[in-house]
Structure 1
Amino acid sequence: MPSPGLCRSHDLNPRANHRFSSCKLGIVFYVFSQETLFKGGDIMTKFFAGSGIAQSPEQGPLDVIIPTYAAFLSQQGYSKLSARQQLRFLADMNRWLRQKRLQVTDLSEPTIKRYMRSRHGRLRPRRDDAAILNRLVHLLHTHGLLPQKATRLPDNPHQYIDNDFDHYLSEDRGLCLATRINYRPFIQKFLSARFGNKPARFAELNASDVTRFIRNQAPRLNPKCAGLMVTALRSFFRYLRHRGDITVDLAACVPAIANWQFSTLPKFLQPDQVQQVLSRCDRRTAQGRRDYAILLLLARLACGPVKSSA
């Protein structure tokens, strides 16, 4: 049952044959016709039930599409937390459009850029801002509320796959936010290094692309970051195979990074390096003579270069 304090019906016009439902959404109090609300209003009630969000009697040009957006989130299986964040984003955008006296048909690229500058001046930028705008514009196009030529979102050609991979990690793999944030830069670098500014054609990927990228990036990273990079790449290639974008198991082609204890030590010492080690022993003392004897014995008995692990 929806919370009675969250959604309620009331007559705006006693002579009207229809009723209106009011639902709290972020800091905005939206009013929709019963026909427009349909399932979307019930879903928003589910998303915001028990959240204790305050009311503010405002309306805006996005009122007509927000219930549909909420229904889309529920259908796609987004979590309640993720849905609340996205609907709050739309609430803020709706209020901004109302304050600027703009309509849905005014959502051109310059308008969206103006809103994002305003939002980022007030709120901390979120990594999924572009994805929310993409979904919103897609729904507006689908329902004929926005002409196709009216909007071209500023976005790089890899943004969609980047956002969808994040959703896969969150919803399908259950990874926490911190892990997803750590994975994302490595995937972005790989896509940029392999495809540049062109659309990604994953069917063209092969093992040499993977090893080449890792050879170029690993020397610039410390062992732990390099280990995180290969873990992120393995996860990304499993995701691509899960989607059917690749048929080869490229995750198995990702080499391991030496990150175990003593992995940074050299595997052996050259003769001049052995001599330097021996010269460090103070043979005027008993301990120095003992160390010198042990090291000299190791050097003479070793078959080839002296292994430092010995």
Structure 2
Amino acid sequence: MLKDLGQVGMWLSRLGLGIADLGEEAVERFLSDQRAAGRRRLPGPRGMRPLLAYLRGAGLVPPPKGEVSPLDDVLDEFRDWMTGERGLSPTTVLRYANTARRLLTEQAMPGGVFSPAGLSGADLNAFLLRECARVSAGSAKGKVAELRSLMRFLHLRGLIPMKLGASVPPVGGWRLAAIPPTMSAADAQRLLDCGPRTGGVGLSDYAILTLLARLGLRSVEVSRLRLEDVDWRSGEIAIRSKGRREDRLPLPVDVGEALVAYLSEGRPQVGTRRLFVTDRAPRGPIRADLVGDVVERACKRARLPTVGRTGSGTLWPGRCCDRAPG
């Protein structure tokens, strides 16, 4: 499927089209062009539906002309509400919207008619049980938050008469029930010492690892750092967290030195104001998952168990200002 979707992307580029131009007619044209070019193994129009459904769920492709359903209208409003009122990130908005689409399609479409007013607590519990059967306890807690957010929105818009968010049961997952293994202070220092501190990648990796080690930042917080977030005069650094929250933390000397080395010798000259950028073209701000890649490479160099990637453990034993490592 990924290969087929890659072919769609290259086809759009050759024709000078954007992602918003993709639709049923464009898919038919793409398949026709591929057949004319001699490709034999092609998906049919039905095989391309998951792509269109995903892109429409992400708000990147408009719904079919003349077929905008009431469900699509509600989902569009839900996305705008999460972005404008809640200040959620695009990836979080996409996850919440996907859960909302599944719930409303399964539970609020009797006879194919969109009717959210008939939703009940039993409907939410049945949906949650099905969803939680295939995910971990942590992901199940996320489903609860997604459902409660949707119910709050539907009630505010007057689409459901009662506040059904309270009827979504919490997921059992007790704090410290399973304490993840942590890295000792000696191993954490070994992780910092084993990496190169020259070149763009080496200086960037060391600065990222130092931020994680000394300030206990989350991966997404590292990726969101901007040049103006570092207040050199007062010795502080601003951290942007969830829900547009901003914290200010003291800037330790070793963190400041690592950042100075990266900014003066390793950071490519690009237009973005993000602190960390990719070393290879196309250059731009790093993603949060790249921070995990940096940690994984460092663990391999130091011949230590990988931590911080798949729940196998936290990066560092210490914390700063009661912040959990990410």
TM-score, length basis structure 1: 0.38
Higher relative contact order (CA 8 A, sep 6+): 2
